[in-house]
Structure 1
């Protein structure tokens, strides 16, 4: 049995040697992908840190509140304020895509805000029976003022939400200070306003290794993601080789030989598992040794290598099972190659390789749970980013193995049914 398995393994190696171009693509394409995408993402992040986004700022108030908002925006180190516009020209410039956004502060914003706050505070003070000198002349509450925000129609919704939240926070803090100041004036207190800091603040707690914080970066996300994509891309050459065997009569000779069909499947499994491990080691080597020379963070696998190889083996099994099924069902290379490549891209999209699963619509988040790429990606992330052990990823490993067993079982059943006499 072992000898037959060995001969099947040798046969697969000989088949691969005849397609050197395909083997090069299997190894080189993922390396180019991981380098290009990681550079793009890391460079984009650094560019956002080092440069400012030009936005149009129109101050029709020219008073305390608008000056405070302008100061906060300038101090954010994110925006470069352009002020040589009126609201109409700003709207045209933004809607045409020349700039991403414009902020328009309305006239009399400070004056009307002060009047509204003063009127509301007087009502509250008088309701407690603390009549003030000006309580008899309460001013009517004016309509809420609107700060106009114009966004380029092509602007990312996440950017819009971030800016609107920032502006809301600035306005909220300004209003709070003014309300507190108004109560001070009404009650005649002299407490220093600057001493009243926020009673609640936020502090991010990150995992630590010793005294060093573990901060996820683009490399830690891209290396496992594109390793998984590379592993599943072996579906294409594997399915093509199976189709070739059918067209060249090799599968007929295999069926009439005393060697069971599952031995041929195991031979392919061991061969392509070796390819998966080589792909993984190449990707890790790029992350560890090449990325630092490209001004990228090094990929840290200290103490995790064995666990990552185990996940790679199970992810490889899932990819091989899918390739065997596709090659068994397809009749021509024209069927297997395009469908194999397209299905891998679809599985990658569903599984969270392209877009994080939590950003998908709720329906697609449920669909993602059925993608073998999502199982593999979660297992990689658990080990790399969450410092989990094999026991914590046992569920994902079991799903990947069951996927392999299911795919191979269907392939064997289909092959026997097609060739039943």
Structure 2
């Protein structure tokens, strides 16, 4: 036990020699999590709370244009503009303004779309009634040829695809509802006036989102619940860099050889490094949680709800720290110089974060990358955090991820030990 504590003390002395690096190890993740969360939260609010100005060119002046305007205003997402610099907007000016990036969207409603749609519906209804013998086909006027109408949408080339698809689906839904109502009304007129409406125009099928609840309160995910676990894992795994550098230093300066010839078993050296850096990982985790709970509300961000989940989150952070330490020791054992360990360690952590879903959700990745993500320890840790925070998971439900993180630690330590023994034997 004495040798273990002396090994821990030795690691602390090494860290004290680079006090600036130790401070950065704690401060930079805090700056990162605050910055990323503010950006993502403001982006979320810009879509849900702030109205997006869009240009509307109404060449129709009819019922469809009126309904489109009303629906867009009622959505609460858009601010409709029909003038630029006190001048009515034309399709040409709207196109130029959008393609220059001044606005994200312009909607151009063509001429006579309302009247032509009604005429087309009248013709179709007359044909249907005539086929049932309810109208005299001889007295029916010759039907006018009508060309299809297009509601043209101009998007800023930098606009995200999800925004484009959302707008197109919303407008398509508006037009479909208008068409359906016009068809029902036309049938009503052709069949004659009645006291009661023949067709119910209320939607028969609707959608209702069912969300999980705890104590009759809905669990609504926010930017904080996604960012704190993700960037905490990123910070924890970044201990790979200083840990691998220290391992390389010990080899190059001969410290490791002197420790082993004392004699100190190699597993005691590994255990001392593990305990020291695991304490750093847990301090990082608790600092991140403290920022989410106490500091974020002062920035106007949602508070991180950890009531009843802090113990399970700490367990996930503990085993994630073990996985990061195992990877750092393995990298430091294999690397010959600090110039090899530092860049490779930083790059590999970034790759593991990207593959593991820290930056881009796994479901949004290509199929191949979704399979690759399953081998990233960050993905295991992130899923465990999400199970606890968002899915109200228990210790049994996060046990598979914990076992994977522990196995990753044991395997990397075993490889590092075997590799070190072979190198010293030579």
TM category (shorter chain) comes to over 0.9
**Whole-Å Cα distance in 2 between the matches of residues 43 and 135 of structure 1?**
63
**Whole-Å Cα distance in 1 between the matches of residues 138 and 72 of structure 2?**
36
Which of 178, 183, 186 pairs up with 1:182?
A: 186
**Whole-Å Cα distance in 1 between the matches of residues 99 and 183 of structure 2?**
36
Q: Give the structure 2 partner of residue 202 of structure 1.
A: 207
Partner-residue secondary structure (3-state), 2:106: strand
Q: Give the structure 1 partner of residue 248 of structure 2.
A: 243
**Whole-Å Cα distance in 1 between the matches of residues 324 and 69 of structure 2?**
55
Q: Which runs of 5+ in 2 are unaligned?
A: 83-87
Q: Give the structure 1 partner of residue 14 of structure 2.
A: 15
**Is structure 2 residue 400 aligned with structure 1 residue 395?**
yes
Q: Which moved more, 1:79-88 or 1:400-409?
A: 79-88
Alpha-carbon distance change, 266 to 91 in structure 1, aligned in 2, over 3 angstroms: same
Partner-residue secondary structure (3-state), 2:230: helix
Residues 4-403 of structure 1: pairs in structure 2 closer than 5 A:
4-83=3-82, 84-131=88-135, 136-137=140-141, 139-140=143-144, 142-190=146-194, 191-192=196-197, 196-403=201-408
Partner-residue secondary structure (3-state), 1:104: strand
CA contact (8 A) 2:333 2:420 kept: yes
CA contact (8 A) 1:280 1:312 kept: yes
Query: What do the CA deviations read for 1:69-100 (whole angstroms, capped 9, x no partner)?
Result: 12211222211222222112222221221211
Alpha-carbon distance change, 359 to 132 in structure 1, aligned in 2, over 3 angstroms: farther
Which of 405, 411, 418 pairs up with 2:416?
A: 411
Alpha-carbon distance change, 134 to 175 in structure 1, aligned in 2, over 3 angstroms: farther
> 1:53 Cα shift?
1.3
> 1:46 Cα shift?
2.8
CA contact (8 A) 2:236 2:281 kept: yes
CA root-mean-square deviation: 1.8
**Whole-Å Cα distance in 1 between the matches of residues 331 and 136 of structure 2?**
84
CA contact (8 A) 1:228 1:373 kept: yes
Query: What do the CA deviations read for 1:334-387 (whole angstroms, capped 9, x no partner)?
Result: 111121111111111111111111111222211111111011000000000000
**Whole-Å Cα distance in 2 between the matches of residues 189 and 340 of structure 1?**
79
Q: Which moved more, 1:243-252 or 1:180-189?
A: 180-189
> 1:234 Cα shift?
0.4
Query: What do the CA deviations read for 1:99-137 (whole angstroms, capped 9, x no partner)?
Result: 111111111101111111111222222223322689723
**Whole-Å Cα distance in 1 between the matches of residues 250 and 231 of structure 2?**
30
Alpha-carbon distance change, 189 to 410 in structure 1, aligned in 2, over 3 angstroms: farther
**Whole-Å Cα distance in 2 between the matches of residues 118 and 237 of structure 1?**
76
Partner-residue secondary structure (3-state), 1:136: coil
Partner-residue secondary structure (3-state), 1:137: coil
**Whole-Å Cα distance in 1 between the matches of residues 230 and 9 of structure 2?**
31
**Whole-Å Cα distance in 2 between the matches of residues 103 and 301 of structure 1?**
45
CA contact (8 A) 1:120 1:141 kept: no
**Whole-Å Cα distance in 1 between the matches of residues 397 and 50 of structure 2?**
41
CA contact (8 A) 1:181 1:193 kept: no
Alpha-carbon distance change, 140 to 296 in structure 1, aligned in 2, over 3 angstroms: same
Query: What do the CA deviations read for 1:24-66 (whole angstroms, capped 9, x no partner)?
Result: 1111111111111112222233344443211111111111111
Q: Which runs of 5+ in 1 are unaligned?
A: none
**Whole-Å Cα distance in 1 between the matches of residues 163 and 138 of structure 2?**
45
**Whole-Å Cα distance in 2 between the matches of residues 141 and 230 of structure 1?**
67
**Whole-Å Cα distance in 2 between the matches of residues 317 and 156 of structure 1?**
39
CA contact (8 A) 2:331 2:345 kept: yes
**Whole-Å Cα distance in 2 between the matches of residues 364 and 263 of structure 1?**
38
**Whole-Å Cα distance in 2 between the matches of residues 14 and 134 of structure 1?**
102
Tell me the TM-score normalised to structure 2 length. 0.94
**Whole-Å Cα distance in 2 between the matches of residues 376 and 92 of structure 1?**
48
CA contact (8 A) 1:132 1:186 kept: no
